Amino acid sequence: MELPGDCAWKMDVLEQMLEFFLLGLSFQKAMEPHEGQERNLSLATIPDPYFILPFLAPATLCSLSLQSSSGTCRSSLRCTLFLVPSEFSLLFVTSQIVTGLYLGNIHDSEDHENLLRKGVTHILSVHNRAKPVLEDMTYLCISASDSSSQNLLQHFKECIQFIHECRLGGGGCLVHCLAGVSRSTTVLVAYLMTVTELGWQSCLAATRAVRSYASPNSGFQQQLQEYESTLLHQYRAWIRRDYGRNPFQDQEELQRLLGQQGSRDCSRPRSPDPTLPPPCRAGGTAAGSRWMNR
């Protein structure tokens, strides 16, 4: 069913919510009947995508059901949410991966007080309606959907440059999408690969040691794999030539995280499904970007 244009973003946001349940997170404790509170949320009651994750931040989604039906946008989709005890809210905090580099969601990107407290000066937004919001932040906005056919590889170099120049200048960079799970994780992992000698699986595993539900979709994983086998050597040489030796201890920090990940006996990152179509290349799905202050 094709949604009207003004309702498309609502479907996208609710799909991001559903993504949390596809990650295989363990919420058995939170599902105890006396702990939960059920709320219904229809498309017609969602005024703006920016209101979704802040509403969910005090608690964690534990169950989500989507029901599609014919008719108008008002009745085309319904979302059932279960709010659970507050100790699970830790899943929604901004995650520092290495010094000066943070991974988060759209709520984190608007929490001005928390951004200042963490020393964030630059924000890299990667989602369908990415735009500058806070006046005292420098932005790079990449318009991109969380689809396996979306080409993020074409934006890697611009994103890497933005993050690296921010950190070299003494600032802190937040990379975020809607949920802080797929798109933003993909961009952040590409950067870590470029400034260290680690591959995409190791960088993703280290990221998941901090943010366990970070999980690029299968298409983005294929693009990371393609990046490692094609452009990575060239981009590492470019970074060293134009910016000199990396002054940060990124490799050491990631290796410490990998040690923590191993000690927790966490599952290794999934390999891309070989039956999926090949990843899109430069010149594929276009996505606009801008690097600016609000």
Residues 214-229, mean pLDDT to the nearest whole number? 98
Tokens 């005292």 -> residue: 136
Where are the strands (E) in 43-143, listed by range? 66-68, 77-83, 95-98, 101-104, 120-126, 138-142
Q: What number of CA atoms fall less than 13 Å from residue 94's CA on the CB side?
A: 26
pTM: 0.66
pLDDT band at 81 (very low <50, low <70, confident <90, very high): very low
| Exposed / middle / buried, residue 145 (Cβ in 10 Å: 0-12, 13-18, 19+) | middle
Residues annotated catalytic, as ranges: 177
% residues pLDDT > 90 (the chain): 56
Q: Give every CB contact of residue 288 below 8 A, 6+ residues apart in sequence.
A: 142, 143
State how far the Cα of 183 lies from the Cα of 195, in Å rounded to an integer: 19
Where are the strands (E) in 143-265, listed by range? 172-176
The maximal CA–CA distance of the chain, rounded, in angstroms, is 60
State how far the Cα of 198 lies from the Cα of 84, in Å rounded to an integer: 38
Q: Does the pLDDT value for residue 278 go beyond 90?
A: no
CA 153 centroid distance within chain: 15
Q: What is the pLDDT of residues 15-56, one digit of tens each?
A: 555 454 434 333 333 333 433 444 433 333 333 333 333 333
From-to residues of CATH 3.90.190.10 in the chain: 94-293
Which residues make beta-bridge pairs with 67?
78
**What's domain 94-293's architecture?**
Alpha-Beta Complex (3.90)
Q: Are 82 and 36 in contact (CB under 8 A)?
A: yes
> What was the pLDDT predicted at 66?
37
> What was the pLDDT predicted at 93?
77
